[in-house]
Amino acid sequence: MATLVTAVIRPHSLDAVKESLKAAGVTGMTITEVKGFGRQGGHTEVYRGAEYTVDLLPKIKLEAIVADGDVAAAVEAISTAAATGKIGDGKVWTLPVGSLLRIRTGEQGEEAV
């Protein structure tokens, strides 16, 4: 039926990822400003002479529900647009969607994607 594609990416990659997903036929998405860390770890900042570690860095979490047939294209679109080759580019993962309903029309399943 449908699949939830979730990605955590760099904030400044969002525009490129969004355009890339639209080009791949994805019609909607939800993004959240989040903080987190992976292998990148954090970095140190200095405030009034005192150093401190910022290990949770700002990231964007993007969620899009796509038809099963479009999953490979969507993942490819995200990973291409978000890649800089440096540590901290983020991750993409997918999960099957149990049920799906468009609230306004009452459409269900793949029709509601």
Partner 1 sequence: MRRKLLTGLGLVPLGVIALAAPAMAQDGEGVVTADSVQAILDNIWVLVAAILVIFMQAGFALVEAGLTRAKSVANIMMKNMMDFCVGVIAFACVGFAFAFGTGNDFIGTNGWFIGSDIAENYLSGTTLGLPTFFIFQVAFAATAATIVSGAMAERTKFLSYIIYSLLITAIVYPVVVHWTWGGGWLSQLDTPYIDFAGSGIVHMTGGVASIVGAAFLGPRIGKYGKDGKPRAIPGHSIPFAIVGVFILLIGWFGFNPGSWLAADATVVPAVAVTTVIAGAAGALSAMVFTWIKQGKPDVGMAGNGLLAGLVGVTAGTAHVNNWGACIIGLLAGVIVVLSVYFFDRVRIDDPVGAVSVHGICGAFGAICVGLFATTNGSPLGEDSIDGLFYGGGADQLVTQLIGVVSIAAFVAVCMVIVFAGLKYTIGLRVSPTEEIEGLDVHEHGSAGYGADIGHIGDDVLVGALADSEGS
Q: Which residues bind partner 1 (CB under 8 A)?
A: 45-52
E strands in the chain: 2-9, 30-36, 43-47, 50-54, 57-67, 90-96
Q: Closest distance between partner 1 and the C-beta of residue 49, in Å?
A: 5
Closer by beta carbon to partner 1, 51 or else 87: 51
85 burial via Cβ count (<10 Å: 0-12, 13-18, 19+):
exposed
Closer by beta carbon to partner 1, 48 or else 86: 48
Closer by beta carbon to partner 1, 47 or else 85: 47
Q: Closest distance between partner 1 and the C-beta of residue 48, in Å?
A: 6
Q: Strand, coil or helix: what is 55?
A: coil
Closer by beta carbon to partner 1, 49 or else 98: 49
The end-to-end CA distance of the chain, in Å, is 9
Q: Closest distance between partner 1 and the C-beta of residue 45, in Å?
A: 7
Q: What is the DSSP letter of 112?
A: G
Q: Closest distance between partner 1 and the C-beta of residue 47, in Å?
A: 4
